């Protein structure tokens, strides 16, 4: 297969830095390589150690390049953190062409008009994502080019970020010898890799439970209506386990991965296992019910914080169909039941699935952001054109419809 230009994404997370390289082929984008390195200079989207972060970027990129057999010079960079904010805005312009037919520059002008918001000097606009257009009062237009009218309006989702936080991330990228092709708010990247157009149309909450943060994106009617980050992720569970069982963070992480569960009720007999003491010289017996008493309340708290963040920002009458959990935290056994309990919605685990060239090793929730960067970066968010929505297995979702504000 003839391969076109390569596209690379760089996700600098709290626990790991991940680079993905893809190239366009006949069937669309295909992943050629993925590389990973531990992150030790990044916390919750914020650079805490420049040199460490540069090293992690270099290592992850080099591994991806070796696997792909290509060299990359430009990367789409994921950004996240509490400094990220989002809002919805509207732009209006007059269609000026002689025959009053909307042309591409009109669309650019109207999206630019929607970017006029009150912006503090230390903040910058990262995205202005069109949700839908209105022409002479006719709303719900997904692609206005070629249509006739005098007044073109657009509803956009605007994402802004703290300029210095972003500058520090980009400085690390630059020092690692890479140019930034673009920046993408991470939950939007994760959404691009894991969500189906039908889900975005019906209404879906994407939660990327990482190590330090939980990134949120809410889609309704095909477009994003809310995006945010809350500063809690899977590492807080590990901390709680370390404190509760009086052991090291590393041992607590093992215990979490092997025995941890988000199930609200035990699904098996109480099990006993040995946990190393803080000095590592002896072990102590712990039961799965003791572990659950530590993990479950914290998992529920993460989802309650996410829900509170969403409820604040979405109209009260808005119905949603589903919650999709991705990010490394999605590996926690039974995490779906905790999310279902809090949101009162069906829940599925999201793995990268919307791109070719994926081996099972890449089809893991912790790679959703990195894979999504190569998808979302160059294309931006396009309004989906629904094919046969409401039919087949997806039709079932409608019967689950419920309001998360009940
Ligand atoms: N099997 C597992 N069970 C429970 N948690 C797991 C498992 N595997 C990984 N995790 C958790 O996933 C988290 C890391 O997820 P991820 O790799 O998505 O984070 P990140 O992108 O580095 O961080 P962030 O997005 O917060 O900056 C860690 O808290 C880790 O403990
Ligand atoms: Mg992440």
CATH of domain 6-82+178-233+300-400: 3.30.420.40
Domain coordinates in residue numbering, the chain: 6-82+178-233+300-400, 86-161, 234-298
Helix H or strand E segment including 24: strand 16-25
pLDDT recorded at residue 128: 96
Class assignment of domain 86-161?
alpha beta
In this structure, the residues whose C-beta lies within 6 A of any atom of ligand 1 are: 13-16, 39, 210-213, 233-235, 238, 253, 256-257, 260, 327-329, 331-332, 366
pLDDT by position in tens, the chain (length 406): 456 789 999 999 999 999 999 998 877 889 999 999 999 999 999 999 999 999 999 999 999 999 999 999 999 999 999 999 999 999 999 999 889 999 999 999 999 999 999 999 999 999 999 999 999 999 999 999 999 999 999 999 999 999 999 999 999 999 999 999 999 999 999 999 999 999 999 999 999 999 999 999 999 999 999 999 999 999 999 999 999 999 999 999 999 999 999 999 887 889 999 999 999 999 999 999 999 999 999 999 999 999 999 998 888 788 899 999 999 999 999 999 999 999 999 999 999 998 888 788 899 999 999 999 999 998 764 333 333 333 333 333 322 334 444 4
The number of the ligand nearest the C-alpha atom of 82 reads 1
**From ligand 2's centre to the CA of 348, what distance in Å?**
18
Give the integer Cα–Cα distance in Å for 102 and 253.
Answer: 56
Q: What is the pTM assigned to this prediction?
A: 0.92
Cβ burial, residue 1 (10 Å; 0-12/13-18/19+): exposed
CA–centroid distance, residue 365 to ligand 1 (Å) = 9
Q: Which residues pair with 388 in a beta bridge?
A: none
- Note the pLDDT of residue 380: 60
- From 44, 56, 211, the mutation candidate for ligand 1 (largest count of ligand atoms within 8 A of CB) is 211
Region 234-298: CATH code: 3.90.640.10
Structural contact between residues 160 and 125, judged by C-beta atoms closer than 8 angstroms: yes
Q: Which residues contact 245 (CB under 8 A, 6 or more apart)?
A: 252, 255, 275, 284, 286, 290, 291, 294
Q: Where are the beta strands (DSSP E) in 237-395?
A: 272-276, 283-287, 322-326, 347-349
Residues having C-beta closer than 5 Å to ion ligand 2: 13, 210, 369
Nearest 5°: phi and psi at 229? -135, 135
First-to-last C-alpha distance (Å) of the chain: 52
pLDDT at 268: 80
Which pLDDT value is given to residue 3?
63
Q: Atom 4 (ligand 1): residue with closest C-alpha?
A: 332
């Amino acid at each position: 297969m003839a391969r076109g230009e390569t596209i690379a994404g760089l996700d600098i997370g709290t626990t790991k830095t991940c680079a993905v390289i893809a190239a366009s082929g006949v069937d669309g984008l295909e992943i050629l390589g993925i590389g990973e390195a531990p992150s030790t200079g990044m916390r919750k989207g914020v650079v805490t150690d420049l040199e460490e972060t540069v090293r992690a970027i270099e290592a992850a990129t080099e591994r991806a390049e070796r696997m792909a057999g290509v060299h990359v010079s430009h990367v789409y960079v994921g950004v996240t953190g509490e400094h990220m904010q989002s809002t919805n805005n509207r732009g209006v312009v007059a269609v000026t062409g002689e025959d009053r037919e909307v042309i591409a520059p009109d669309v650019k002008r109207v999206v630019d008009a929607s970017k006029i918001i009150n912006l503090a000097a230390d903040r910058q606009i990262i995205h202005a994502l069109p949700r839908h257009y209105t022409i002479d009062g006719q709303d719900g237009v997904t692609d206005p080019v070629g249509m006739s009218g005098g007044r073109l309006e657009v509803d956009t989702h605007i994402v802004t970020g703290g300029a210095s936080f972003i500058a520090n991330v980009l400085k690390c990228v630059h020092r690692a010898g890479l140019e930034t092709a673009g920046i993408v708010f991470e939950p939007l990247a994760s959404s691009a890799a894991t969500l189906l157009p039908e889900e975005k149309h019906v209404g879906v909450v994407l939660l990327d439970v990482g190590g330090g943060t939980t990134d949120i994106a809410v889609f309704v009617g095909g477009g994003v209506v809310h995006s945010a980050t809350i500063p809690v992720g899977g590492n807080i569970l590990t901390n709680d386990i370390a404190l509760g069982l009086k052991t090291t963070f590393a041992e607590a992480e093992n215990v979490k991965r092997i025995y941890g569960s988000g199930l609200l009720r035990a699904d098996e007999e109480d099990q006993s296992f040995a946990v190393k003491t803080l000095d590592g010289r002896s072990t102590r017996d712990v039961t799965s019910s003791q572990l659950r008493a530590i993990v479950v309340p914290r998992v529920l708290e993460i989802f309650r914080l996410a829900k509170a963040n969403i409820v604040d920002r979405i109209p009260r009458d808005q119905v949603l169909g589903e919650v999709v959990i991705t990010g490394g935290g999605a590996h926690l056994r039974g995490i779906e039941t905790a999310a279902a309990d809090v949101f009162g919605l069906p829940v599925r685990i999201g793995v990268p699935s919307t791109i070719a060239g994926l081996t099972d090793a890449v089809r893991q929730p912790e790679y959703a952001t990195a894979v999504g960067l190569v998808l979302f970066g160059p294309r931006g968010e396009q309004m989906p054109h629904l094919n046969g929505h409401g039919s087949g297995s997806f039709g079932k979702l409608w019967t689950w419809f419920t309001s998360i504000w009940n």
